[in-house]
Amino acid sequence: MKLLNIHTARAIWLFPLADFNPTGLAIPQEGFDKIGQRYKFEVVPTVVAAIEARKKNEPVHFISGAFPSRSGKDIVVDLKIYTDGLIGESRSNTADTDAFLRDFFDWAPTALGLPKLDVPIRKTMYVSEMYVETDQEMTALNPGLDKFCRLLGSAVPSGSSKSYELFGLHFSTDPKDGPPLVNFKFERQVNTHFSHHRYFSAAPIHTDHHLELLQNLEKLLAG
Amino acid sequence: MSTKSSLIQKLKKSKEYRDAFVASQISTGIPFQIRALREQHGLSQKDLAKASAMLQPRICAMEQAGYGNFTLNTLKKLAVAFDIGLVVRFAPYGELVQWADNFTPDTFRIPTAKDDPILNRRHNKAELRVDLPESQPLKSMPESLNKVSESALLRDAALTSNSSTSVHAPIGNAASLVGLAETANRHAA
Amino acid sequence: MFQDYVHPNGNNPVRKWYTKELSTQEQANMDALLGILGRTEIWGLRDYKPLQGAQKGLGEIRWKGDQRRQLRLIGFFGPAPRQFTLLVGCNHKGTVYDPANALDTAAILFKRLNQCIGEAREHEIEPDPEAQEE
């Protein structure tokens, strides 16, 4: 399984933002600018934009900043601040995104003139998306699927016969248990010839675990 | 070994543990459920005490995992206070194991008589075949609109893409977009 | 979700406490409690209290044992996401822990784990007999 690129390494930290600012102290534009300077964000919202965003239940969104990854090189990061938590995003690794959120979480209250409080993170979640390449075929899981594809191809009235192939695998939880943040999916990259063996995968887990799972999947497909 | 297999192993080995297991479902499970129901109803311990003709310290004690003094009478009073049913019957161990294995915190939340889907279902001839829960049309797992909760953050967090979700003509074939049409199992973008 | 700290020599302090110090009923209650907490995203203060001071980073899972004694499992969230590692089991009454050095021991084991001395192994209700140490 060859990793082509990481599309998303998203970390979500849930906690009530109001706990950072229990007495509702004003955060002036300088505070936003400090955040912008620390992480060199290209787009720093204004206080006015933040107020408007809050009214519409939208986040305060800092775009295209920089943060050192585990390897020491700067990665591009985005930050969204909601009233119930933070979303950090990079194209590196969820561990790096976590480190970015941790840096912000530890630095921001003091830098913004807020009291230093011990606010517990209620929950952390992750979304990993990546493009990979593998020669293994999904129909290896069940050869009967090849037969089904042929039946499907011959059943579709389209004028010229098209051959169908298995497009993807999706895994989710029973609605009675509540849906996962995102389903696990492994599917062909759309608008790409099947012969290129390019696949897209999404999972509600850390990047490294996601890669491991995909390697396990490849082994299963290899038989 | 999975938790379920481990539990089954232990239940098979020891009658003493089987007896304790049954008791633990009550002394540990019920406190959690009382708390969940109290929160569901927006009640303080004092409110619940009043509604169930008990004292607040007793409610407090009952909400601690490991409380071993539940009586049937107490459970009936709590069911009345919450306006919900209570099931007391003998059951095979396997059923308790299955319950523990399938449990989620939502299991603890019980609709009251006012919200009970069975009690409030309007019966007509067509509907009297089988009692099925209300089903939603199978909405998409394209997670852009797949709500985990009302949180805008979680809706945003669940956005994923295969760069393909935009509708482009297939490579090498400008004529047809039919293959990329939305189907019933997808949200419109 | 739950892991036990295991010494390099294979000793598992939580399993030892579970087997030697808890009655069968208390064992079953602990198993049921961990079963519920393992599927609960947010743990309330009733069931879990973060510790401070020298034990910052650790917390205790709390429940009632036989004869009104209060039982505690001290551990921490990690090492991987959605995991909680159990370090030490003990009793608690007022401000007194039994064993008295339970908190210090937990802090030491936490430090050891961070230094990769010992490991976090999946917590089991009934250990796999093939995996058990002689």
Of C83, C65, C81, C68, the closest CA to residue C17 belongs to C65
Q: What is the largest CA-CA distance in chain A?
A: 70
From chain A, which residues contact B within 8 Å (Cβ)? 7-8, 10, 12, 14, 57-59, 80, 82-85, 87, 125, 127, 129, 170, 172, 177-183, 185, 187, 189-193, 200, 202
Please determine, for residue B176, whether its predicted confidence score (pLDDT) is greater than 60. Answer: no
Collect all residues of chain A within an 8 Å Cβ-Cβ radius of residue C41. Answer: 122-123
Average pLDDT over residues C108-126: 88
Structural domain range at position C87: 2-122
Please determine, for residue A79, whether its predicted confidence score (pLDDT) is greater than 70. Answer: yes
pLDDT at C91: 92
pLDDT band for position C129 (cuts 50, 70, 90): low
pLDDT at A171: 92
- Domain residue spans of chain A: 17-121, 129-222
Among candidates B104, B160, B171 on the partner chain, residue whose Cβ is nearest the Cβ of A127: B160
Q: Which residue of C1, C37, C40, C41 is the best one to mutate when testing the A interface, meaning the one whose CB has the most A CBs within 10 A?
A: C41
Residue C84 lies in a domain: yes
C45 to chain A, closest Cα gap in Å: 12
Q: Which residue of C39, C82, C83 is the best one to mutate when testing the A interface, meaning the one whose CB has the most A CBs within 10 A?
A: C82
Residue C40 lies in a domain: yes
CA gap C55, C103 in Å, rounded:
7
Please determine, for residue A44, whether its predicted confidence score (pLDDT) is greater than 70. Answer: yes
- Nearest residue of C to residue A125, measured between CA atoms: C81
| B5 interfaces chain A, CB cutoff of 8 Å | no
B144 CB-near residues (< 8 Å, 6+ apart)? B158, B159, B160, B187, B189
A198, A131 Cβ separation under 8 angstroms: yes
| From A89-103, A108-122, A129-143, the region with the lowest mean pLDDT | A108-122
| C45 interfaces chain A, CB cutoff of 8 Å | no
| From A151-165, C20-34, C51-65, C84-98, the region with the lowest mean pLDDT | A151-165
Query: pTM for the whole thing?
Result: 0.50
Evaluate whether ipTM surpasses 0.85: no
Class of domain B3-108: mainly alpha
- Domain residue spans of chain B: 3-108
pLDDT at A159: 55
Residue C130 lies in a domain: no
B76 to chain A, closest Cα gap in Å: 27
CA gap B6, B100 in Å, rounded:
12
CA gap A129, A205 in Å, rounded:
10
A149, A131 Cβ separation under 8 angstroms: no
CA gap C112, C118 in Å, rounded:
7
**pLDDT, tens digit, for every residue of A179-188?**
778 889 999 9
Mean pLDDT of chain A: 87
A179 to chain B, closest Cα gap in Å: 6
pLDDT at C128: 64
Residue C128 lies in a domain: no
Average pLDDT over residues A159-184: 80
pLDDT band for position B42 (cuts 50, 70, 90): confident
C104 to chain B, closest Cα gap in Å: 25
How many structural domains does chain C have? 1
Collect all residues of chain A within an 8 Å Cβ-Cβ radius of residue C59. Answer: none
CA gap B148, A103 in Å, rounded:
27
